[in-house]
Chains A and B, each alone.
Chain A
Amino acid sequence: MAHPSQLGFQDAASPLMEELLMFHDHALLVVFLISAFVLYIILAMITTNMTDKYILDSQGVEIIWTILPALILILIALPSLRILYLMDEIDSPHLTVKAVGHQWYWSYEYTDYADLAFDSYMIPPQDLTPGQFRLLEADHRMVIPVMTPVRALISAEDVLHSWAVPALGTKMDAVPGRLNQTTFVASRPGVYYGQCSEICGANHSFMPIVVEVAPLEHFEAWSSLMLEDT
Chain B
Amino acid sequence: MLASRALRLVGRRAISTSVCVRGGHGVAKVEGYSLPAYFDRRENPLPQVRYVTDLSSEQVSLKEKEKGSWATLSNEEKVALYRISFKQSFAEMNQGSAEWKSIAAGIFFFIGLTGLLVVWQRKYVFGDVPHTFHPEWKAKELQRMIDMRINPVEGISSKWDYENKQWKK
Query: Which B residues are closer than 8 A to A by beta carbons?
Result: 42-46, 90, 94, 130-132, 136-138, 140-145, 148-156
Contact = CB atoms under 8 A, between A and B. Distances in A.
B115 to A, nearest CB: 20
Most chain B beta-carbon contacts within 10 A, residue among A3, A52, A53, A125 = A3
Interface of A: 1, 3-4, 6, 10-12, 49-55, 125, 128, 130-134, 188, 190-191
Nearest to A190: B149
A53 B43 contact: yes
A132 B145 CA distance: 9
Given A49-B42, A54-B44, A55-B44, A190 B130 contact: no
B43 A131 contact: no
B148 A3 contact: no
B43 A3 contact: no
Contacts of B45: 51-52
Majority DSSP secondary structure for residues of A touching B: loop
A191 B149 CA distance: 9
A3 B151 CA distance: 9
Contact of A51 (B42, B137, B155): B42
A4 B151 CA distance: 13
A54 B44 CA distance: 6
A11 B151 contact: yes
Nearest to B153: A11
Given A3-B145, A51-B45, A125-B131, A130 B151 contact: no
A24 B50 CA distance: 57
A170 B125 CA distance: 39
Given A50-B42, A190-B148, A191-B148, 20 more contacts: A3-B145, A3-B150, A3-B155, A3-B156, A11-B152, A12-B153, A49-B42, A49-B94, A52-B43, A52-B44, A53-B43, A125-B130, A130-B136, A131-B137, A131-B143, A132-B144, A133-B141, A134-B130, A188-B152, A190-B152
A131 B144 contact: yes
Contact of A131 (B140, B150, B152): B140
A144 to B, nearest CB: 16
